[in-house]
Amino acid sequence: MNTVTDTDTATDVAPATVRAIVAGHGSFASGIISAVEQITGKGASFLAMSNTGLCLDDIQHTLARALDDSGAHVIFTDLPAGSCTMAVRRMIRARPGVLLVTGINLSTLLDFAMQDSVEPVVAVNAALERGRASMAIYGA
Amino acid sequence: MPIALFRIDDRLIHGQVVVGWGQPLGLGFIVLVDDEVASSEWEQELYRMGVPPEMSVQFSTVNEAAAHLAELQKRPEAGILLVGDIGTMGRLVKQADGRIRAVNVGGVHHSPGRVQRLRFVFLTPAEEQGLRDIAAQGVDVSAQDVPSARPVPLGELLASTTGT
């Protein structure tokens, strides 16, 4: 699995196929990417990043370097109020064209993984709708 | 209701604060005390959008927060006062006329010159002294990242070399 930390040289870990970075708390990113890999075999489309042990500046620097080295234009995060989301929102002020999608679930990421021949903005909008629509309550 | 938590956390408003503490405390408001954020509309908007609709957030300089502390502590709902570093909390405690009884070290993460004391607390010698100075004013200082964790008293925090 592709992962990035504040001590990695991201060029060592980011293959050319990376289309998006997934960032979140604990093992959220590596966990959800492993699920995408298991279901679609397209886990290598994503780079995982955890906020564990990092201050806001470190999160921002690590994400910026991962974006630069991977050429990805999309960042997925787990929680709207999370530190990764805050860091990305601050960072993308100076990076037009980079898209942030927050509050994702597995359906969101699967849909994005399968749309690898369309523009990022088209793929993320479709993935967002798929992710929203996938949530349901049964037995109520 | 008194402010439920005076917290030092270099991530300021984030998941641990809004969800981890916010839900069990029934948090109604956050006071973010940071001179830089207080002077930047854009930064304020960034943090404002990070809190759920049932929670309000206000931004203050250290001087403003100290001046309005008594008033904040009379609000009917529970609140958290957040600062991003130990120096800021030290300045606030000095101006608080004894209104701050306890300080929570919630997250001071790795940076050059800091030594790891807990999984979520790294300190320079100056920051350690800063915490001692806060405690010397009769404030109970402890480290605790989430409500379910054990609060680690200052003495134990500064003696810890395990990083656990």
Is A29 part of any domain? Answer: yes
CB within 8 Å of chain B, chain A residues 7-26? 25
Residue whose entry in the numeric block shows the structure tokens 């029934």: B26
**Which of B12, B47, B109 has the CB atom closest to A58's CB atom?**
B109
Residue A36 sits in which domain range? Answer: 10-133
Task: Write down the pLDDT at residue A1.
Answer: 63
| Segment B117-136, tens digit of pLDDT | 999 999 999 999 999 999 99
**Sequence-ordered list of residues with C-beta below 8 angstroms from that of B34, at least 6 positions apart, any chain:** B12, B59, B61, B83, B84, B88
Structural domains of chain B, ranges and CATH numbers in brackets: 5-159 (3.40.35.10)
Q: What is the CATH number of the domain that holds A41?
A: 3.40.50.510
A140–B contact, CB cutoff 8 A = no
| Segment A25-36, tens digit of pLDDT | 999 999 999 999
Find chain B residues with C-beta within 8 A of A86's C-beta. 11-14, 46-47, 50
User: Residue B120: closest CA among chain A residues belongs to which residue?
Assistant: A53
What one-character DSSP code corresponds to residue B7?
E
ipTM: 0.76
Is A1 part of any domain? Answer: no
Is A3 part of any domain? Answer: no
Is A28 part of any domain? Answer: yes
Is A139 part of any domain? Answer: no
Residues of chain B with pLDDT under 70: 1, 162-164
Domain count, chain A: 1
Q: How far apart are CA A17 and CA A88, in angstroms?
A: 21
B10/A79 Cβ within 8 A: no
CB within 8 Å of chain A, chain B residues 15-54? 15, 17-19, 42, 46-47, 49-52
Q: How far apart are CA A120 and CA A124, in angstroms?
A: 6
Average pLDDT of the residues of chain B: 94
Residue whose entry in the numeric block shows the structure tokens 């903005």: A121
Is A121 part of any domain? Answer: yes
Q: Is B76 exposed, middle or buried (0-12, 13-18, 19+ CB in 10 A)?
A: exposed
The reported pTM is 0.84
* The pairing of beta strand A20-24 with beta strand B152-153: unpaired
Residue A14 has pLDDT above 50, yes or no: no
